[in-house]
Every structure is written in structure tokens, then in C-alpha cells.
Chains A and B, each alone.
Chain A
Amino acid sequence: MITADRPSLAPEPPGTSTAAAATVRVAAKRVEAEGVVSLELVAPDGARLPDWTPGAHVDLVLPDGTTRQYSLCGDRWDADRYRIGVLREPAGRGGSAYVHDHLAVGDRVGLGGPRNNFPLVPAQRYLFVGGGIGITPLLPMIRQAALLGVDWALLYGGRTRASMAFVDELAEHGERVRVVPQDEHGLLDLRGFLGDPDPGTRVYACGPAPMLAALAEATAAWPAHTVRTERFVARELGAPARDTPFEVELARTGRTVTVPPGRSMLAAITEAGVEVLSSCRQGTCGTCETGLLAGEPDHRDSILDDDERAAGDCLFPCVSQARSDRLVLDL
């Protein structure tokens, strides 16, 4: 039995609005492989977390203000927790090292999204190719394919067997899963795994650039839209996320409101008496879309894709914050 008597992220009654910017608590931290830890994230008040679909990632805003993207690799039927896998990247900019060395159970981190640039589309058959930590977005896809009874297979490569995370939980799928550590078997035999081009098959691949380049070559003859890949590229963000107040100038109203840390911009604006219609207050429905005239926002919504974020002409004040000291909104 489950119980539905628990807080959800319901909008508060008018006048008592205390909505905070999204924050999650680290509920568990586990070593999954050499150089890989998984984190379980929950809402501090035990509420449901925003819904997501396989292929989605979240933005983790670390205490030093750096933002890192991680694929969600848990179970979406458990609405209370997210799971992510984090590879320690020696060449990285410190975000993954912080997660490995300092982030502890009980700590709180900022959350953006989830967003999905790598959605699973319907198919008669899926071929999954994962390289290293690139296995993470594929885990919920595999679960979904299995649930739907769709034919699928996974080719999973890594440097060494000990460096490959989540091999144990993939073992239940038997021969559908081929685990190929490079030090034992060499490079992935992509052509052998993929076979001939097939219009009913969708190929989903995530991994390091050389693997994706080899995949592109191996699938050059496949029909358009049958191969879908994701690679993690650290986005060049401007200023880091802030832990200090910022100002929001409402251009049409001629007012300025201050948003303290941990407070939602929407709450601050509406408390100042300026009407902004909203609905979900999770950055998913799009109702509170607001024109951005100046300033650098810290987008936390699930709606805008990377191009739309780059356009920088709107934001969703229910969840988004600021990187610059001041934002100017078309309100």
C-alpha cells in the first residue's frame, strides 16, 4: 500500500506564499564503481519531485555556485527521489571532485530542471550504446523498453570492468546486455552490434566524443532520425549562481523588488503587488513565462531548450533565479 497523504508541491494559499527556489537534500551517496558515485536526492520537506522522462537531466547547483548537469538514472515511479551518477573527472572544473570529496548525506544543493534533450521516442526496437558514465541516461530507457515489451539490446563499453557503474543491476537482463571493458576486449564492435540499417530501430547512444564519432561513422547509412545521441558538454556559463540577494526591475510597473537567497522570484514579485499568473510553480507548465529585457538569468525550468536559453529573452520566475546582480523583466 502507498499513502497519498503527503505534501506535494501545491501552490500555497494566497498571502502565505513562501515558495523557495528548488533545493534538494542528499539522502544517500554510494560508490558504484571506481571513480563513480551515485547520489539519491529528495525534497527537503519530503514532497514529490518534479516529473521527468527517460533521457532527462537536472542541473545541480553546487555550494560554490557552479552548475553541473547529470542524467536522471533512477525510477520515475518513485516520485520522491532522484538518482544521479557522478564520474570523478580529473580534467573537470572541480564540480565532480566536490561531489566526490565533499558532498555528504544531508547536504543541500540547488536544483534546476529536469529537462530532456534526449527523449525516448516510440520504436519497434531499441539499440542502446553506452560508454562509461554515459550509461546513466540509458538506464531508465532500458527499464522503459523492458516495461513496454519492446525488443532491445545494450552495448556497454568502459575502460576497465571495475570502472563501469551499474553493471550489477543490468545483469538481470541477461544476454540483452553486452558489457565490454576495453582492457579485456578492445574497442566496441559497433558495426557488429548495430547490424544493417533498420527503419523500425532507434539507436540511443551516450558516451565520450570518440565513441560517438565512431558511432556516427558506423551509422552513416542509417535513415535520418533513427540515431539519437547525447554528449555532455560543459556549458560555458557566465557568472556563477548566487548566494546573495538580487534585484528585479519591473520595467512596465516601474518597481524594483529584491529577491533574497532561497526565495522564489515569483513570490517576491507577487508579494510586491504585481500580478503574475502561474500554475504548476515547478517550471514545467509555462504559464508564468515572462519577458527578460536585461540581466543574466539562472534558468531552472524544464521548458526551454539550450537554444532558447541562449536566446535569453524570457524566463520562468516560479523557479528561475539570477546570475547577475539585476534582472529587468517585462512586467
Chain B
Amino acid sequence: MTLTAEPAHDLPTSDVDPFCPEVLEDPLPFHAALRAAGPVVHLRRYDVYAFARYEQVHAALVDWQGFQSAAGVGLSNFRHEKPWRPPSLLLEADPPRHDAPRRVLQKILGPRALRKLRDAWAADADRLVDEVLAAQGPEFDAVAHLTEAFPLRVFPDAVGLGREGRENLLPYGDHAFNAFGPANALVEKGAPRVAELSAWTAAQCAREALAPEGFGADIWAASDRGDITPEQAPLVVRSLLTAGVDTTVHGLSAVLHAVATHPEQWRRLREDPGLARVAFDEAVRLESPVQTFFRTATRDVAIGGHVIPDGHKILMFLGAANRDPARWGPDADAFDLGRDPSGHVGFGMGIHQCVGQHVARLEAEALITALARRVATIELAGAPRRHLNNTLRAWETLPLRLRPA
């Protein structure tokens, strides 16, 4: 193809700010408009190219050769701008530098390595649900008491974090995900604590700060074997702490909101608790806790009949791709345990696909199964409130009423 064959005016454009409070509160209409506008839409406010259809989002996710991550997976272009923190060795790296850290962490967080945690996490989820029902009664905020509480019980222990300061994990992650967007009010809101939270997080990544057993110790053991360098080890631990908590919390909130608003699906789940994993992935598809990531074109890339110039940012709307009727059918917006959600891009796809996805699924399976055994019905006990983040789709509160079985 040639450049002249595609007049520039053919490229659909939008002046909407994807990171404004109105869109973050309810992105679905904007997503639908982007998908309808075309395979590529130029977002004039930030001079970036948006992909919202499944086909283009999937293609961009897997094509690490054409769409790089090392120039940052947020709006900021590391070719021209200094990152707010040392770049991630996983998320913000390309092959070949990406290879060794990814390989190490993928093994440590792989399904086979997680098997030994399965029984303990299931038992812990049972205990948590019993405790919450006993202490709170049938009505409570599920974010505070379940979806934040459970990951914060099991994940820091699995990493081997110390007891002190674990409450910093959520605000640190929240800010890191805000920082992928523009420097708007959400980023400003987090700014006063950045230095303090970054220092705490960095301190937890040192070998001495970590328990002798756990994901953290496993990462340092890989450094002892020379599979990664001692300089890389703390940054790989940091990736766990940044990306491993908020995302899972919001994924768990998503599945609880979905079953609370779809009582027939909860009945189905209770009849067949083996659907717990499907329920979680279907909720991740529908809600897409991680809504967006950027890439940077490594050369002039033709896609959908348009050319993305070398060095320009593209913005992939994972949430829009996960509801694209062209991929998911006319009922793409429905939460349906009869659907096979396989292939959704809520965890990404390709070499950067969420390395912690099996951890998230194991946490979700434990919590959902524990609830399914004890709870006959789940319903909203009040209007839930959104938590706004430039990248994450989240609930601030999720008031639920549970009727024990």
C-alpha cells in the first residue's frame, strides 16, 4: 500500500478526552462510538491513535515488533520524556531486555507453581467469608470486607512481604495506574504521597525485607542463579507489588457486582461451582479492570487502511474490545456463564500478557467458591459507587446483601 491511497481526511477523529471524569464514570457509550467510527480513530486532544475493535486491539497486543512497550505503556513517550519512576522491566520493556525478567516471573507465577497455594487459599477464603458474615451480618460493603480484604490477606504473604505498611500497596498501585494517563486531577491527587509510597515500595523489594520463602525469595533465587541480575531482582519484585493488588481487587469486585445484578447467574454458579473460573474471566471480560494501555509504533505501521507514523502513541481500549459485538456477538454486553470468555483481552495478549493472571484466577476461584458454598442469594444493598482511575475500572463501594444458604 502507499501513503497517497489514504487521504488523511478519511481518518475518523474524536475530541473526547478518554480520561475525563464523565468517560471514566461510564466509558461504554464512548467505547461504542469509537468502535463504530472505524478501526482507528485519531484522538486529537492527545494526538494518539485509538483502537477499540477487538481485531485491531488483539493484533496490536501480539505485534510487539510493530508496537513497542519500552517507550512507555502510558501517554508519556519515554523517547522524549523522563519516566516518573525507573521503567518496569516487564511492562515497559521490549525484547531482548524483556526476555529474562519475564521468563523468571512466568515460572514463579505459573499454574504449576501455584498448585501448592491452592488449598491454603481456599481455606483462607472460607475463613474470611465466615468471619465477615459473623461480624458484619448480611449487609456490608464488599469492597472493604471481601474484595480488598482477601487479596490483602493472601497475596502479600505469598510474596513474603513484612507486616508493616501493607496498607500502602493499594494507594501505590492506584497511583501507578493513574500515571499511565495524562497529568490530570487524578494524578495530582496522588502526587503528594508519591515519594513516600515509592520509597516504601522500593524498600520492600530488597532481599532482606522479604521472607525466606515466597515469590519475592524466588525472584532473588533466580538472581543467585544468574537468570536475572541482582540489579533486576528488586524491580521484578516491584512489578508484583505494583500490578498484583489493585487489579485483582477490581476484578473480584467486578465478579461480585456481576453476580449481584444477575441472580440467575448466581443460581447457576451455585448449582455448578466448577463455573467459578468462567465467572471470573467473564467478569474480567465485561468489566475489564485494566481498561487501556498504550503502545508506540516502531515504524510507520499500516492498520485498518491508515498509517500510524513511527514513534506515535496508540491507545488500546481493552474494555471496548472485550465488548465488541463483532467478536462476542449481539449479546456482548451480557454477563453470561454460558459464554466461553476465552480469548478476551482483559489480561492483554502476547508476550506482555498479565504474568499474574493465574494468581488472580486462583484468588477469584477461592473466594467465589467459598461464597457459593455459603450464600444462597447476593443482591445490591444500595447504589455502588465508582472509584475513578485513569487506567482501572473500579468500585469504591459495593454494598451487598447476602442471604446465607
- The list of the 4 closest CB pairs from A to B, nearest first, reads A11-B343, A225-B226, A278-B342, A3-B302
Q: How far is the CA of A270 from the CA of B274 in the complex (A)?
A: 15
- Cross-chain pairs A/B with CB under 8 angstroms, 21 sampled: A1-B307, A3-B1, A3-B301, A8-B62, A14-B328, A51-B351, A54-B96, A79-B63, A120-B99, A121-B226, A144-B96, A202-B226, A225-B225, A277-B341, A277-B342, A279-B349, A280-B353, A281-B343, A286-B358, A287-B358, A303-B110
Q: How far is the CA of A144 from the CA of B302 in the complex (A)?
A: 27
Given the known interface contacts A13-B329, A225-B226, A286-B358, the answer about A48 and B340 at a Cβ–Cβ threshold of 8 Å is no
Asked whether, in the complex, the Cβ of B357 is within 8 Å of the Cβ of A285, the reply is yes
Residue of A nearest to B98 (CB): A53
CB contacts (< 8 Å) of A279 on chain B: these are: 342-344, 347, 349, 353, 357
Q: Does B116 contact A (CB under 8 A)?
A: no
Q: Does B311 contact A (CB under 8 A)?
A: no
How close is A271's CB to chain B, nearest CB, in angstroms? 10
Q: Does B382 contact A (CB under 8 A)?
A: no
Asked whether, in the complex, the Cβ of B65 is within 8 Å of the Cβ of A77, the reply is yes
Asked whether, in the complex, the Cβ of B275 is within 8 Å of the Cβ of A275, the reply is yes
How close is B1's CB to chain A, nearest CB, in angstroms? 7
CB contacts (< 8 Å) of A53 on chain B: these are: 95-96, 99, 103
Show the binding face of A for B, using Cβ within 8 Å. Answer: 1-5, 8-11, 13-14, 48, 51, 53-54, 76-77, 79, 116, 119-123, 144, 147-148, 202, 225-226, 270, 275-281, 285-289, 303, 308, 314
Q: How far is the CA of A267 from the CA of B285 in the complex (A)?
A: 20
Asked whether, in the complex, the Cβ of B340 is within 8 Å of the Cβ of A10, the reply is no
CB contacts (< 8 Å) of A9 on chain B: these are: 62
Residue of A nearest to B96 (CB): A144
Q: How far is the CA of A77 from the CA of B95 in the complex (A)?
A: 9
CB contacts (< 8 Å) of B175 on chain A: these are: none
Q: How far is the CA of A92 from the CA of B232 in the complex (A)?
A: 43
Q: How far is the CA of A10 from the CA of B329 in the complex (A)?
A: 16
CB contacts (< 8 Å) of B55 on chain A: these are: 10
Q: Does B37 contact A (CB under 8 A)?
A: no
Q: Does B44 contact A (CB under 8 A)?
A: no
Q: How far is the CA of A308 from the CA of B361 in the complex (A)?
A: 22
**Sample of 9 more A-B contacts, CB < 8 Å, known A3-B303, A10-B343:** A2-B65, A8-B58, A8-B63, A11-B342, A13-B329, A48-B62, A120-B100, A147-B96, A275-B340
Q: Does B281 contact A (CB under 8 A)?
A: yes
How close is B5's CB to chain A, nearest CB, in angstroms? 12
Residue of B nearest to A303 (CB): B110
Q: How far is the CA of A280 from the CA of B347 in the complex (A)?
A: 11
Q: How far is the CA of A76 from the CA of B232 in the complex (A)?
A: 24
Q: Does B267 contact A (CB under 8 A)?
A: no
Asked whether, in the complex, the Cβ of A280 is within 8 Å of the Cβ of B232, the reply is no
Q: How far is the CA of A87 from the CA of B283 in the complex (A)?
A: 51
How close is B219's CB to chain A, nearest CB, in angstroms? 14
Which residue from B278, B302, B349 sits with its C-beta under 8 Å from A280?
A: B349
Q: How far is the CA of A48 from the CA of B62 in the complex (A)?
A: 9
How close is B177's CB to chain A, nearest CB, in angstroms? 22
Q: How far is the CA of A13 from the CA of B339 in the complex (A)?
A: 11
Within B64-104, which residues are at the interface with A (CB < 8 Å)?
64-67, 95-97, 99-100, 103
Q: How far is the CA of A51 from the CA of B226 in the complex (A)?
A: 23
Given the known interface contacts A275-B340, A277-B281, A287-B357, the answer about A4 and B59 at a Cβ–Cβ threshold of 8 Å is yes
Q: Does B184 contact A (CB under 8 A)?
A: no
How close is A10's CB to chain B, nearest CB, in angstroms? 5
Within B223-256, which residues are at the interface with A (CB < 8 Å)?
224-229, 232
CB contacts (< 8 Å) of B275 on chain A: these are: 275
Which residue from B1, B100, B328, B351 sits with its C-beta under 8 Å from A119?
A: B100
Asked whether, in the complex, the Cβ of B299 is within 8 Å of the Cβ of A119, the reply is no
Residue of A nearest to B112 (CB): A308
Q: How far is the CA of A296 from the CA of B95 in the complex (A)?
A: 35
Q: How far is the CA of A76 from the CA of B224 in the complex (A)?
A: 28
Given the known interface contacts A119-B100, A121-B228, the answer about A14 and B329 at a Cβ–Cβ threshold of 8 Å is yes
Within B342-388, which residues are at the interface with A (CB < 8 Å)?
342-344, 347, 349-351, 353, 357-358, 361
Given the known interface contacts A1-B299, A4-B63, the answer about A286 and B111 at a Cβ–Cβ threshold of 8 Å is yes
Q: How far is the CA of A9 from the CA of B96 in the complex (A)?
A: 22
Q: Does B327 contact A (CB under 8 A)?
A: yes
Q: How far is the CA of A213 from the CA of B65 in the complex (A)?
A: 39
How close is B188's CB to chain A, nearest CB, in angstroms? 36
